[in-house]
């Protein structure tokens, strides 16, 4: 019998906001949206606590650069788990995003590579919108609507 463990899944306001602000331009099934929120929330935590760079405007740019540099899930997960913050690392290690069923690792990696592509697309849309505003206006997520 296989023991099943339900791992927690991080959710942050920034992760949810990216999805909400791009719903009209990116149409995906709920499963993919939830997966993108989860991934973006993990990245938000990393940017906020590892790099000490809070703020939605900073999150958009840093998350996009992080996803571009990582390329795929294998590199991204290695980077995220290499955090110097022990509490953040412990949280990531327990998070569902970093868990996989033995024997399904390749399928999980393909799924997460797809999630990364969707998240990058959403971030690119918001970064293009952000280029229309001054730095002060970027502090207010309402300007991205």
Burial class of residue 98 in the structure, from the number of CB atoms within 10 Å of its CB (0-12 exposed, 13-18 middle, 19+ buried): middle
pLDDT digits (tens, 9 = 90+) for 1-41: 445 555 678 889 999 999 999 988 887 788 899 999 999 99
Instruction: Give the DSSP per-residue string, 5-32.
Output: --------HHHHHHHHHHTTT----HHH
**What's residue 98's pLDDT?**
92
**What's residue 5's pLDDT?**
55
**Whole-prediction pTM value?**
0.85
Are the CB atoms for 9 and 96 separated by under 8 Å? yes
**What's residue 100's pLDDT?**
84
**What's residue 78's pLDDT?**
96
CA distances, 131 to each of 4, 21, 22 (Å): 46, 15, 16
Neighbours of 96 (CB within 10 A): 14
pLDDT digits (tens, 9 = 90+) for 87-145: 999 999 999 999 888 888 889 999 999 999 999 999 999 999 988 875 555 556 665 55
């Amino acid at each position: 019998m296989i023991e099943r463990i339900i791992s927690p899944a991080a959710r942050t306001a920034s992760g949810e906001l990216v999805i909400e602000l791009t719903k009209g331009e990116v149409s995906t099934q709920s499963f993919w949206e939830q997966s993108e929120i989860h991934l973006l929330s993990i990245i938000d935590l990393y940017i906020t606590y590892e790099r000490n760079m809070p703020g939605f405007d900073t999150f958009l740019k840093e998350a996009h650069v992080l996803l571009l540099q990582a390329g795929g899930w294998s590199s991204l997960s290695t980077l995220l788990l290499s955090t110097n913050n022990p509490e953040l690392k412990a949280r990531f290690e327990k998070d569902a995003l970093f868990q996989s069923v033995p024997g399904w690792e390749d399928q999980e990696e393909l799924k997460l590579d797809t999630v990364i592509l969707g998240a990058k697309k959403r971030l690119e849309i918001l970064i293009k919108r952000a280029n229309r505003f001054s730095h002060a206006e970027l502090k207010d997520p309402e300007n991205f609507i």
